[in-house]
């Protein structure tokens, strides 16, 4: 494909370039090396898209303006879900103590945390549904509520694609790891 401000390539040249791009070497070792190189390039583009939000290279589950809006909506607020996994680790640690009263207390706190998670997810789903119904058609927003709830349960540092907004909604600077620069 030619870049802007350049003439369109001749059909013969375009077909030759396309055939060269998909040509597989006849040698097995060279073919495997070429396949590994293509897969490596594909993974690098995917990882880079997770930071830059480039729609072309994002996985299908994360593509589209609705999913981007849901990501930003979820990322601008703090939810109980993102605290759930670290809190669960603390709970598991305390369950190893032989004190029965402590274990009962910890299990009660765990139950309260779990109920809070369910309530928070329900409220988030309600707000996502309400806001999306104002902006988008019902057929377009299929799966967006579940997408938002699962994103809210994930810890903020582990979310992919990486958040574009800070808590509160202000834009966040994109910082690529050194391996992707």
Q: Kindly report the CA angle at 124 between 117 and 148, in degrees rounded to 5?
A: 95
82 and 35 within one domain: no
Q: For the segment 31-80, what is each residue's pLDDT rounded down to a tens digit?
A: 898 889 989 999 999 999 999 999 999 999 999 999 999 999 999 999 99
Which residue range(s) make up the domain with 18? Answer: 11-52
110 and 88 within one domain: yes
What's the domain count of the chain?
2
- 0.75 surpassed by pTM: yes
97 and 115 within one domain: yes
157 and 72 within one domain: yes
Q: For the segment 94-129, what is each residue's pLDDT rounded down to a tens digit?
A: 989 999 999 999 999 999 999 999 999 999 999 999
Q: Is 4 a member of any domain?
A: no
69 and 31 within one domain: no
160 and 80 within one domain: yes
């Amino acid at each position: 494909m030619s870049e802007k401000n350049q003439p369109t390539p001749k059909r013969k040249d375009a077909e030759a370039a396309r055939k060269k791009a998909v040509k597989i070497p006849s040698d097995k070792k060279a073919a495997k090396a070429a396949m590994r190189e293509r897969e490596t390039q594909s993974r690098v583009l995917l990882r880079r898209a997770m930071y830059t939000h480039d729609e072309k290279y994002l996985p299908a589950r994360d593509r589209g303006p609705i999913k981007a809006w849901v990501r930003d909506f979820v990322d601008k607020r703090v939810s109980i879900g993102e605290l759930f996994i670290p809190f669960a680790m603390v709970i598991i640690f305390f369950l190893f103590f032989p004190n029965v009263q402590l274990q009962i207390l910890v299990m009660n706190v765990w139950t309260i945390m779990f109920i809070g998670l369910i309530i928070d997810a329900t409220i988030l789903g309600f707000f996502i549904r309400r806001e999306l119904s104002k902006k988008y058609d019902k057929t377009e927003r299929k799966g967006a509520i579940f997408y938002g709830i699962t994103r809210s349960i994930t810890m903020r540092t582990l979310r992919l694609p990486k958040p574009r907004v800070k808590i509160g909604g202000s834009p966040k600077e994109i910082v690529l790891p050194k391996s992707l620069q």
